[in-house]
Chain A
């Protein structure tokens, strides 16, 4: 893209970054750099630690709250230390946040914890207030769902998005917010408590995964 000063700058493109570098032949320096990057990539591994490592958790209902607002909703209205117990934690690192394996967290921390309803141990809840990077989302998905024994599993995902991102014919200033929208799979037969999300709105990142 040419600016009005006459210089050419590379404009950010919706196509993403050009990975042309990959096509070149590798020199010994390239190999060294690639090794270093692989080491750094290892730090982007996610660890899911369950309190009971021996058996996979049997799960019939899984509620996942992604983002600080959704996590706070669960903390305020659902979770308490009497009915729920911590059964797992996700340890991850990326450029935006780091979580640890401690289960004693403050609301302002970044964390990702799993709780189980003591009265019905097949009901699991996840509070994920940390940001899970693009390249970690799939991993999160596979590791969390992979360690569960699904029994007629119903998953509910709670998340928030800024109203400014909502695409609608009117201006978002006139909308009464906050408001709820939902997306559901064909298999979900129950009544949804709010209207469905209309096109052209979409959901991305971990809730989408």
Chain B
């Protein structure tokens, strides 16, 4: 099966995109991670569509599945506790191996303000593949005309130094990716350059990017202007209400 998960990263774009996937595909919760690496939180069902299904408790790290597409999704809902990045990554990767997961796709984001001059032009979307996955799907990425995440100089300003992978604001992305490379895990990272703010549009862009490759939903051709606009096919979960505060007090006016 394919494991799809977010990194807790700038703008929470990965997590928002995962919310869209779970909500649109109406995935079933099959389990959760009992972990001390994430800040605890609990609430009622964030994907509730009616009174009847709104009462299921939901916590910070839950696993959903869609057997028809051999898809398993992990959603992470709270920040990492200090010093717990590595333990979480290790536990996650050992679960990936023991559960015979075929490949992992990580949705993430990186600070837009850290882009260099070249990165400011063109698409803000990037991908990364571990060597094991490169062999399998590297060709497909070329067909899709996707851009690989550039490596940067280890010491900016000084030329001819080693180039390293740098994902500022990416949370566990770099750690998980480098660990997967060395453990022979097939992992792809899909990320978008963005800033904090209203990241809902960023989430849509990222999830459409994912869809170009995995084809999780069909992008219908719109008859009016003959272009494909898959954004309308994604279902926004009910928990996205009131992301920016409550209603205004009438006394204000």
Residues of A within 8 A of B (CB): 1-2, 8, 11, 13-20, 22-23, 134-135, 137-139, 166-174, 183-186, 196-209
Contacts and interface: CB of A to CB of B under 8 A. Distances in A.
B119 interface: no
Contact of B168 (A18, A206, A207): A18
Contact of A183 (B12, B42, B109, B250): B42
A208 B59 CA distance: 8
Q: Quick one: which of A8, A135, A199, A206 has the most chain B CB within 10 A?
A: A199
Interface stretch (B3-11, B95-103, B128-136, B212-220): B3-11
Contacts, number: 138
B41 A208 contact: yes
A15 B10 contact: yes
Nearest to A41: B83
A185 B57 contact: yes
Contact of B40 (A198, A200, A204): A204
B246 to A, nearest CB: 5
A199 B81 contact: no
A177 to B, nearest CB: 13
B40 A209 contact: yes
Contacts of B170: 15, 18
Contact of B113 (A1, A14, A23, A201): A1
Given A18-B170, A200-B242, A202-B42, 18 more contacts: A1-B113, A13-B169, A14-B10, A14-B79, A15-B10, A15-B171, A16-B80, A18-B168, A22-B86, A171-B246, A172-B246, A183-B57, A186-B57, A196-B54, A200-B241, A204-B39, A207-B42, A208-B40
B40 A168 contact: no
Interface in B221-253: 238-243, 245-251
Given A134-B39, A186-B56, A196-B55, A16 B44 contact: no
22 contacts: A1-B113, A13-B10, A13-B111, A14-B79, A14-B196, A15-B79, A15-B109, A18-B169, A23-B175, A134-B39, A167-B246, A168-B247, A171-B249, A172-B246, A173-B249, A185-B57, A186-B56, A202-B43, A204-B39, A204-B41, A206-B40, A208-B42
A198 B54 contact: yes
B46 interface: yes
B48 interface: yes
B211 interface: no
Given A18-B168, A22-B86, A169 B246 contact: yes
B36 interface: yes
Nearest to B110: A15
Contact of B44 (A138, A174, A199): A199
Chain B at the A interface: SS class: loop
Contacts of B178: 23
B210 to A, nearest CB: 19
Interface in B30-58: 36, 39-46, 48, 54-57
A197 B251 contact: no
B239 A200 contact: yes
B78 interface: yes
B247 A11 contact: no
A143 to B, nearest CB: 12
A112 B113 CA distance: 45
Contacts of A203: 41-43
Contacts of B204: none
A204 B78 contact: yes
B175 A22 contact: yes
B78 A199 contact: no
A2 B115 CA distance: 13
A183 B175 contact: no
Nearest to A8: B113
A11 B171 CA distance: 14
B85 A202 contact: no
